[in-house]
Amino acid sequence: MLLRLLSLASVGLLAAAEILSLSELKWTLRNEKGDISAPAQLPSQVHLDLKDANVISEPLLGINEFTQRWIVNETWIYEADLSPFIHQRSHTGSTDSGKTLLVFYGLDTVANITLAGHPVAWVNNQFQQYVYDVTEFLAAPVNNDTALVISFESAYLYGRNVSMRADVEAQLAIDFEWPGARGFVRKTSSDFGWDWGPGFVPAGVFRPAYFITLTDKPHKAIAHSPPAAHPLLVSQNTSGLFIEESALEIHKLGQRPILRPDESAPWVVNVSLAVRSLRADSHPTLTVSIPELHVTSGPLALSPIPAATNSSTFVSAAFKIPEGVPQRWYPHNLGTPKLYNFNIALSVGGLPTVSYVVRSGFRTIYLAQTPYSQEDIDERGITPGDQWHFEVNGKAFYSLGSNIIPFDPFYPRISTDKARWVLESAVKSGQNMLRAWGGGIYQPSDELTGGYDFYSICDELGILVWSEFIFSDETYPVNDFFLASVEPEVRQNVRRIKKHPSNVEWAGGNEIEVILLLVNSTIQVLPQQVFDEFELLFVDFLHDIVMQEQTSVAYTDCSTTNGALSLDPYVLRLNNVTAGHIYGNTELYNYDTSQSFNYSTYPVARFVNEFGFHSMPSFYSWEEVLESPEDFAFNSTVVMSRDHHPPPQNLSWPNPAAPEGQMQMTLGVEQWLPRPSTSDSNQTFAQWCWSTQIFQSLYMSSEIAYYRRGSGRGENNLGALMWQLNDIWQGVSWSAIEYSGRWKVVQYGLSNIFSPIIAYPYWTPETETLEVAITSDRWEKVIGAVQLTWYDWSGHLLNESLHWFSVPSLNSTEVYKAVGLDNILPRGSNASEVWMHLNLTAKVDGQLFTHEQQFVPTSLANAKLVDPKIKVTRKPNLTFTLSAKGGVAPFTWIDHPAGTVGYFVDEASGKPLNGFYLIPGQDRTVRFVQSAALSKVARPAPTDFVVRSLWNNTHL
């Protein structure tokens, strides 16, 4: 895709183009000691090039996370010969009046750059883009040196060295694997290890990089060229201009992030550019048009642009569009994510007008954080305290979703196809919001500058994104040196991302406020200086930059927060709380599996932005990385080495704390499911892995149902974001989707529990109370019925009842309540012998809507299951009909074979379906929807699809 975009306006990059991707050069990689040298490529990272050269094996194999640690401590040098490029410049006359820029969209992380023997720069921030005018260096090589050299020192050793300086204060930090460094270097935090992933601490030119040659000799075709597909490409045909940054923001007139916007006000379209130009113009102009709306701004006056290529000049212009002219953008479950093409044309005197296309949409987003009114408390029964929920286009809505982590330990091998699959999977499971976690990476906007696409796909699919700055789980030095690096990082990313209607807020970082409050109250009283420096960075510095750079979304200091005492000026609430009131948002991690379904352990909150439980990946994922037969066991050394929960907090290997995490999963299975044990060791291992996923799904569904029910209670809960959506490797994690793209059980569970209308059984065993409640996220009232049907495990229907309901907008209502097993169970039944099926039907938008759920009045470990004798009928197009010829098969599951990526859909409803209760006489037909882009096996054999159920935990 990258090269296709670059070649849109030229044939043969070296022959004609004015944009040269550094990927076109011939690169070598060597270590500083000189005993390793290998061919390399860009974008890349050291591990990947060493793997391709067979110096190391695939980093994710076996115990390579441990055996390849030596790479982290080395200095690695990338070098390319620029002779062909220098010759091309001389041949085309670019050396006469042109300028050449060296552009990096991402360097990971601490690097020295030299060109033709000249020092260009030393950099230390992975999250910045860097642009250098290297014209003079190319014109006068030192001693005929024609090399571009990028030398990466160890980011870990750099961080350690900084931390030990006398003028740098120690910080409060949670170390996961590589200790004492990550807070002192601006690099992806999880690169140093996390409790769900490896610590490879990679290095390299991880995002695209280019030579941009500017001349004032226009190409013949430029006058009538269509708008470029990207701002970078306006430099393609010797335009004399380089657009270093392009920002577009759409907001309401007078809008401020801390106030509800006036939905009737005109729209303001604001375009900002950072420009480097060969020509000066005291009266440049900008024109914005939206062809689909037949709207144009006409020429808009800009501030003067000087003739300068060694730095950029910022210019901006805005115009208004009346309310009602554009169609609004909505998240996919609330409307249509409508996008428009914005054609932006820049005219600088003496140079051809250049134009490019930006895709964006019209929407308002508001984060409500102010106190509930007394009227809300009295009339709606709202618990006193502050609001904490999002509103889109003037309406509150329920945020259903999960958290995104990096897609791979090695950024350059992330593809748009992989990101799209994960994002489309989120949509398929009913999610409307993803939190781009603050310990990872700033997700990119396009392939040309970011290597893969993320935000633009979210715009297209209608997924909201909660964005965060990359600060996580520790305090940070707030000296001038550190802040001087952070400021351009933050400004560049806020400007880039604000064009995306999917973006809903900026959070300063991940969990830092809650960690400070927890440590201060339970471990040790922290010095006031710790809180002062925290507020300097997260309340003053980052907040002010966000408010300066954009006006359409809110800022909060951290992901988990008690909220604010005041929004203007911005003052945090911290511990200034009143008993019985609810503030901010919260999270929950409880690893006592005996209490997993105890609702009293769940937070009563306005919004829950993190909650989760870990599980094993599937047997198929383990096959990708385990190398010996003895490794295929739940507690084998290699399997346990890939369980980083709890983390070792240092470089100990295997993780000495892993038995604790393994035991948590073990108890979750043993307490709530039949314990896997068969005569086939591989089946037993596979059933163990799968059973941990079932427990995870049951637990997450229980929490989500509880939080969603809160939309009709005093807490007015309007958000549940599970931890986590995707995976970074094949190991123990909290993910719903495995590294390969394979859906775990919980991903299908989310598809069920994130349905817009759900019926759920709330069981309190201490009082033997069963409540069935209906929850709806719809903006209109919903009327329907839920049928409660009792079966025994042989599949005999014991009794049934029908209950009608009417649910107000964004609310919940109880339709059934009974106390005492004698009043709940069918007469003469024992809790271990029966279960209940809930089947909801309603009319939504004129169409029939259905939802299913189950209730088991005891642990499935105690249930008297009957051999289901599942029959599989294989049909064309990877369609399978499953029939229970014996008893009921709880969690009937069909696995697609290795090398395939996809999901199963119910042929009757069109919804994702797997891990369901199969009842005798009620066949289910599912079809495998395959991802052609990610599947290595294009045409899997239907006989390679495997069916299992809980019966197989103890039977072959």
Q: Which residues are catalytic?
A: 511
Residues in the chain: 956
Contacts of 898 (CB under 8 A, 6+ apart): 620, 623, 937
Q: How far is it, in rounded angstroms, from Cα 615 to Cα 34?
A: 43
Q: Which residue has the tokens 């994104």?
A: 465
Contacts of 718 (CB under 8 A, 6+ apart): 388, 389, 390, 396, 397, 398, 399, 606, 607, 711, 810
Q: How far is it, in rounded angstroms, from Cα 15 to Cα 48?
A: 30
Distance set, CA 543 to CA 258, 473, 538, 567 (Å): 12, 19, 6, 11
Q: Which residue has the tokens 């050299």?
A: 149
DSSP-derived secondary structure for 494-507: HHHHTT-TTEEEEE
Residue 404: its H or E element: strand 399-404
- Among 53, 65, 42, smallest CA distance to 728 is for 65
**Residue 828: how many CB atoms within 10 A of its CB?**
8
- Return the percent helix, strand and coil in the chain, to nearest 5: 25, 30, 45
Distance set, CA 627 to CA 64, 595, 622, 895 (Å): 11, 37, 9, 22
**Residue 159: how many CB atoms within 10 A of its CB?**
25
Please give the single-letter amino acid code of residue 821: L
Distance set, CA 292 to CA 295, 340, 540 (Å): 8, 7, 41
Please give the single-letter amino acid code of residue 528: Q
β-sheet with 782-792: strand ranges across: 797-807, 782-792, 834-844, 847-855
- Among 943, 781, 782, 940, smallest CA distance to 874 is for 943
Contact 254, 262 (CB under 8 A): yes
- Among 659, 540, 579, 673, smallest CA distance to 949 is for 673
Q: How far is it, in rounded angstroms, from Cα 329 to Cα 320?
A: 18
Q: Would strands 870-875 and 879-884 be described as parallel, antiparallel, or unpaired?
A: antiparallel
Contacts of 441 (CB under 8 A, 6+ apart): 127, 188, 406, 411, 470
**Residue 921: how many CB atoms within 10 A of its CB?**
9
